[in-house]
Structure 1
Amino acid sequence: MTPTGLTVDGHAGYAKTGNDIICAAVSVLTQNLVNSVEALTEDKVLCYMENGHMDIKWENLSEQGKLLVDSFFIGICGISNTYGENYVQVCMGADGR
């Protein structure tokens, strides 16, 4: 099944709010994914964001869009591998997300 979106939820809890480098890194990667897909492809993404939560949805990503999503996951997995799953967990849902 092809993924049709992703969800980023919660706070890392690595440091105090405003000083949490893990939250900052995940936020930057997530926002950069949306911005990059919109700026570098013809793909459309829907993004819902509120404090500590972001849902990103898409349909039929181009090869460029898929590459950007893959790059996002390389970055997120790198953070999880470096700092541990206590701070960043990468989960695939039943629908491939």
Structure 2
Amino acid sequence: MIQVNVVKHPTGRITSFTMDGHAEFAEHGKDLVCAGVTAVSFGALNAILSLTDAELSIEQGEEGGFLKCLVPEDLPAGTDEKVQLLLEGMIVSLQMIEREYSKYIQITFR
């Protein structure tokens, strides 16, 4: 199962997220859940890196199945707004995947 942990500040600002595990929906290379989660998360990170000046702290596991992103606290307000919107969009997409494939992905908020 893919575990997605999203950490939000009491204000609602996303400060970090971690993804860990494998969906195991199908064999490697044919796992639609894994492919969807990967596309959504990397799409969001690539959009942030391409469309903003934010320098995120990103850590990836060597074997895949692990992704961690820390959002700097000191981003300019306009940049932080864009980053937050893109991350919220990522979460909405992941929740849609979770709604259909809840045996294979779980999202938690702290």
Shared fold per TM-score greater than 0.5: yes
2:91 matched residue in structure 1: 73
1:57 corresponds to 2:70: yes
Q: Deviations over 1:13-71 (max 9, x none)?
A: 11001100000010111111111111011111111111210011112351111100000
Aligned length: 92
Q: Alpha-carbon deviation of 1:3?
A: 2.7
Q: Which runs of 5+ in 1 are unaligned?
A: none
1:82 matched residue in structure 2: 100
Percent of aligned pairs sharing the same letter: 26
2:52 matched residue in structure 1: 41
2:29 matched residue in structure 1: 18
Q: Which runs of 5+ in 2 are unaligned?
A: 1-8
Structure 1 stretches of at least 4 aligned residues deviating more than 2 Å after TM superposition: none
